[in-house]
Structures are given as structure tokens and as C-alpha cells.
Amino acid sequence: MLQRPAATCTAPAISMEGDRSGRARIAVVGLALLLLGVAVFGLVLGAADTPAWRVILTRLGLDNGAGLKPTDYLIMESIRLPRIVLGILIGGGLAVSGALMQGLFRNPLADPGIVGVSAGAGLGAVSTIVLGGGILSFTGIYALPLSAFFGGLITTWLLYWVATRNGRTSIATLLLAGIAIGAFAGAATGVLIYIADDAQLRDLTFWGLGSLAGATWTKVAATAPIILIAFAASPFLARGLNALALGESAAHHMGIPVQRMKNVTIVVVAAATGASVAAAGAIGFVGIVVPHLLRLAIGPDHKYLLPCSALLGGAFLTLADGVSRTLVAPAELPIGIVTAAIGAPFFLWILLRRRGLLDL
Amino acid sequence: MTIEARGIEVAYGKRRILHGVDFSARPGEVTMIIGPNGSGKTTLMRALIGEVPAKGAVSINGKALSRHAAHELAAIRAVLPQDTALAFPFTVTEVVGLGVTAGPILANAHARRQRINDALDAVDLPGFAGRYYQELSGGERQRVQLARVLCQIWNPVSHRHGPSWLFLDEPVSSLDIRHQLMIMELAANYARRGGGVIAVMHDLNLTAMFGDRITLISSGEVAATGTPQEVLQDDTLADVFGCALKVGEVPRNHLFVLPQAISAG
């Protein structure tokens, strides 16, 4: 950490074989446009029959707004827009967490959902809902994100401690430890649900499904600062994570303060995962699908992988949310079902491709 | 402006590997560390680069190792690892580029690319720029790593930091004979231009050919240290390696070491 953020290069592009940075820079711009397009698409899409385009154009000053009802504005600005913003934040947060975690564990299969960090964060959040009336009133809207953050932090540290010896992570130990920690967190969450009262139970049920429904500006306000800080911190980790791909001692000899860099990465992963889980429940597989696709397209350089993950993650989740809202309209599928339906087969595909390479 | 180590002691648990080793290396020279398996030569190297906790004092360019910040050390010292694993599918250009990033900042993208190309030429891997590192053979990977390490300390001497130091842990272990010679010549050339090279070696003939100074380690202690002529003696080598060896001389004052059958010893 604390290196200069990777400088954006302004020199004329000289192409060199094996240098994918030019392509990566184009990808950043392309993905930003994609995200914008998907966001507009998400705004226009919806169960209610709202003249969405006219509301957008009016707000942009390109339409006089004649004949629009107050409810049209309400639907657009208090229901759809916060949901889109929350989806972008959470999708980006989950994808960046995944990319960071894969860099930290030096393995493309590490993902906060798969190795139990989301479950740990969930346990943190559920404990606060069920047991933490006092904490809730004290920290306000940040109570859930904070408790999820600490749940995620403890889990990540535990994982790292169990699975990494002398700077080498055994992926088998990592996945198995993830199963154990996930199961434990699940059991503890179950106990808490069992002792919860009716009102708490309503909160929990909605939340446990993994959904962007019920997005409000308050929720955005609780989530945005944490995830934006994680986004802001990630460029400073890029150089260290690249060096770490060569191994811990190589990274050290390249001038990286390895221990500090790893600690910061763990905190950032826990913060972004925690904030996401607190706002929308456990949404799986975003953190594995998005960085993997990007590595195929632009290479594993974290200088580009991290910002591209934020953009594509946001677009992916917004799109998945669009699917979840329209597939069984006017009802809604929980978004976790959509991402799992896409992500789980994808995960299996990665396993198949890497079958010969896994050091199980 | 040297590397000095005094009274280096290293223990793994209760097992003591090095018992108070003194070591020094000067810029402008290739200093070789040799010794049988398990003698502690790699451990000595790891103590010199601060990878294992060691008692004693190590200084580099006149300042204690522990008092250099990580980025300061990276500017004057690069280490070629034996381990050539890589976590993600980087291309050769990208791996070598990581070395460029670790070194002094280069003016622009053109200079960066030029540096990467020069380094790949130096290790005889022209045309490999676009290949995926993970698809290369062991020897090719080792040379890509060397190119990366070279990029980190490209200039053997810098105005600000003094001489740069190249640490090579068995640099030719998986190379064919042509590339063994090529890499050793590259190291010797780096020293001729004012840098320092410290290499852990197995091959006694390459050591004899390219070493300016040799430190022979045996059972965690220095058995001999000095020029090849001083260290490479029939009796000393036979003692340390436990087999009969015959040292001879070929034209251009190079020594060679000829193994004899163990039973004949």
C-alpha cells in the first residue's frame, strides 16, 4: 500500500506484443459507457407503466414535463434510481472484493461468497438485527454495514491464518476452510433467526434472500461511503498485488511492504463485502465471474483489473436486477437466484478449464 | 559501498544451520557461494537478503540491512528467485514490466518498452514478448525472471545509491549449456560495469570460470574464501564435498574441476 497510484500514461501508444495496457485502457472507457447504458436501461425498465423517458428528459431540461404526474417522478426518483445506484455500488463492490481476494490468495477461485466471507458478514449483520438494539440506535444507518464489516473481517483473517503458510496459500485448504466457516456462520445465523421476534424476522427474511428490492436513498447513503472508500483504496493496492503474483518474497524484493499491503487488502475486502451484504444480503458469484472474464479480455494487471471490475460488476448486477424484476413480473425473483444461475455453471467451467492445474 | 556480513547465525527451530559466518562482497566482482547440499549456502544467501531471521549484522552499501526501507532496497538490490511460479496468466512482456515498475521511474511508455525489449534480448528471448509466461518451459521461465530482475536494477551503478546488487540463487539450474554460459557472461558483464553479483552455485566449473571470489560453505561454516586459485584446491574440495576432485588449469588461466569416481578417492 501507499505507493503512488498507477500513473495514467499519456505517451503515444507504441504497440508491443504482449502489452495489453492499450486494450485495457479502451476497456475502461467502453465499460464506463456500458455501465451508463445499463443504468438508463434499468431506469426505463419496470413493472409500473411509467413514462420513464419523459421523466428523464424533463429532468435533463429537454422536455416541458406537461402531463407528468407526481407519482411518475416518485417512481423514478425514489424507487428506481436508488435501486440502480445501489445495484451499481454493490455489483462493483462485490467484483472488486473478488478481484482483491484473488490477488491476495494468488488464486482465481477465491471469492468472498465461496470462501465464507459473505456468510461471516451476514452473521455480523444478523447478530446486530437480533441482538443489537443498543448498537442500532447508537450507530444509526451504519450499524448493519459496520457489523457486517467486522463479521467479514474476522472471517477473512481466520481464512488467511488457516490457509496460508509461509506465504503460500493452499487452495484446497482455503476452500475447505471456507466451507467450514460458512457452515458455522450459517448455523449461528440459524440460531439467531430461531430466537428472533416477528418484526426482526421480517427484516431477516427479506434480507436473507439477497435482493435489491427495498432500496432507498437511506440505504444508498449507508452503503456508498464504505464502498467508495474501497474503490478509492484499490488503485494503491494494484502494484503490490501484481508483485504478489510472483510470490511473497519476490514482492518484498520488489519494494512492496508486503505485510501492510496484505492487511489493507483484507480490510478493504471485508469493508466492501460487508457493506454489500448489509445492504442486499448474500449475492453470490459476482466476485468470481466478473474478474475472471476481465482477465481473459485485458489480462491480470490489477492496475486495470480493479477499475474494470468495479465498472463491469456494477453493470452486471444492474442487468441481473433487470432480469430479476422482469422475468416473473409483476413479481420479482431474488437477485441472488439470478447471479447464482449464471455464476455457478461459470464456476464449474473455470474448474474444468483449470482441472490439470489445480494443486489440490 | 560493499556487502558485509559479520557473525551470521541462523537456526530453524533447534537446528542450527549457520554458525557465525562472515561474508563480504565487492562491487565490480562476481562473488560465488558454493558448498554441498545442506551446507547452508542458500540459507546464507537468504540471510544476506533478509529473508530469514538471523543473528549478526548485514550491511549493504554502508547501511544496515534492517535500516533500509523496502523501496530503498528495491532500488539497489534485486533477487532472482529459484521459485518461478506465477499466479495469473501474465504475458512475458507483463512479467518483465513488473521489474521495470519496481525500479526507478522511467520517463515514458516508449522507454519502458525499449527497456523490456533490451532485457529480453539480453537473456536471449527475442520474440517471446507476446507469449504467456505459464506456457513456457522451466529454463525459459528462469530467463524471463532474470530479465525482470535486470529491469529492476538496470544500471549497475547509480549516482544516488551507489552500486546495485544482483543476487542469483542457482541462476543456471534449469538451463542448457549455451544459456548457462550466456547467463553467467551476462552476470560477469554486470559486474564489469560496476555492479555487484552474488550467486549461489552448484556447478564448480562455471564457478571457476566466472567467479572473481568464492566462499566455500561447509556444515554452516566458511571452509575457505578467496580467489578461485585460493579456494579451488584438490584437498579442500575433496574434504568439503566428500569425493575426489581434480583441479586443473586450461588456457586463459581458467581452472577446471574434474570429478573422479567416488570409489577411486
Residue of B nearest to A248 (CA): B51
Instruction: Return the pLDDT at A9.
Output: 44
How many domains is chain B partitioned into structurally?
Answer: 1
Please indicate if any CB of chain B lies within 8 Å of the CB of A350.
no
- The pLDDT score that the predictor gives to residue B100 is 92
The tally of domains found in chain A comes to: 1
Whether A239 and A303 have beta carbons less than 8 Å apart is answered as yes
* pLDDT over 60 at A357, yes or no: no
Which residues on B lie below 8 Å from A253 (Cβ)?
49, 73-74, 77-79
In a domain, A37, yes or no: no
Task: Kindly state the DSSP code that residue A79 receives in the 8-state scheme.
Answer: I
pLDDT of residue B254: 79
Tell me what pLDDT residue A291 has.
95
Which structural domain range is residue B152 located in?
3-225
Q: Which helix (H) or strand (E) holds B198?
A: strand B196-200
Does the beta carbon of A66 lie under 8 angstroms from any beta carbon of chain B?
Answer: no
pLDDT at A279 over 60: yes
The predicted pLDDT at position A11 comes to 43
Count of beta carbons in the 10 Å neighbourhood of residue A235: 16
Confidence grade of residue A4 (pLDDT, cut at 50, 70, 90): very low
* pLDDT exceeds cutoff 90 at B147: yes
Query: Would you state the pLDDT for residue A332?
Result: 80
B106 interfaces chain A, CB cutoff of 8 Å: no
B251 within domain boundaries: no
Domain membership of residue B38 (yes or no) is yes
Confidence of residue A143 (pLDDT cuts 50, 70, 90): confident
pTM: 0.88
Q: Residues A166-182: what's their mean pLDDT?
A: 79
Least confident of A174-178, A329-333, B5-9, B247-251: A329-333
In a domain, A5, yes or no: no
Q: Which of A27-36, A141-150, A316-325, B196-205 bottoms out in mean pLDDT, i.e. has the lowest? A: A141-150
Whether residue A358 has pLDDT greater than 50: no
- Which residues from B are below 8 Å from A243, CB to CB? 98, 102
Query: How many angstroms separate the CA of residue A207 from the nearest CA in chain B?
Result: 35
- CATH number of the domain residue A260 falls in: 1.10.3470.10
Lowest-confidence pick of A141-145, A251-255, B63-67: A141-145
For residue B64, the cross-strand partners are: B59
Question: How many CB atoms sit inside 10 A of residue A49's CB?
Answer: 8
- Confidence band for B260, pLDDT divided at 50, 70 and 90: confident
Give domain status of residue B62, yes or no.
yes
CATH of the domain at B155: 3.40.50.300
What pLDDT is recorded for position A233? Answer: 95
Mean pLDDT of B118-145: 94
Report DSSP letters for A215-278, one per residue.
Answer: --HHHHHHHHHHHHHHHHHHHHHHHHHHHHTT-HHHHHHTT--HHHHHHHHHHHHHHHHHHHHH
| Most confident region among A178-182, A218-222, B66-70, B146-150 by mean pLDDT | B146-150
Note the pLDDT of residue A172: 77
Closest CA to B123 of B97, B151, B156: B151
Q: How far apart are CA B163 and CA A87, in angstroms?
A: 54
Distance CA A210, CA B184 (A): 59
In a domain, A340, yes or no: yes
Dmax over CA atoms of chain B, in Å, equals 62
Residue A65 lies in a domain: yes
pLDDT of residue A7: 45
pLDDT of residue B43: 94
Checking if the pLDDT of B198 tops 60, the result is yes
pLDDT top residue among B65 and A16: B65
Among A2, A3, A10, A17, the residue to mutate for chain B (most B Cβ within 10 A): A17
Its domain, for residue A308, covers 43-353
Q: Select the residue from A254, A261, A294, A302 to test the B interface by mutation, using most B Cβ atoms within 10 A.
A: A254
Which value does ipTM take for this structure? Answer: 0.90
Structural domain contains residue A283? yes
Inside any domain, residue B186: yes
| Residue B33 placed within a domain | yes
Q: In the 3-class helix/strand/coil scheme, how is B49-90 assigned residue by residue?
A: CCCCCCEEEEEECCEEHHHCCHHHHHHHEEEECCCCCCCCCC
**What would the mean pLDDT of A149-156 be, rounded to a whole number?**
90
Task: Look at residue B255 and tell me if it is in a domain.
Answer: no
A19 to B113: CB separation less than 8 angstroms, yes or no: yes
Residue A14 has pLDDT above 60, yes or no: no
Q: Is the pLDDT of residue A207 over 70?
A: no
Domain assignment present for residue A34? The answer is no
Residue A33 in any domain: the answer is no
Q: Looking at the domain assignment, is residue A36 inside a domain?
A: no
Calculate the average pLDDT of chain B.
91
Question: What does the pLDDT look like over A61-101, one tens digit per residue?
Answer: 888 878 888 888 888 888 889 999 999 999 999 999 999 99
Question: Distance between CA A224 and CA A93 in Å, rounded?
Answer: 10
pLDDT confidence bin for A356, thresholds 50/70/90: low
**B125 pLDDT more than 90:** yes
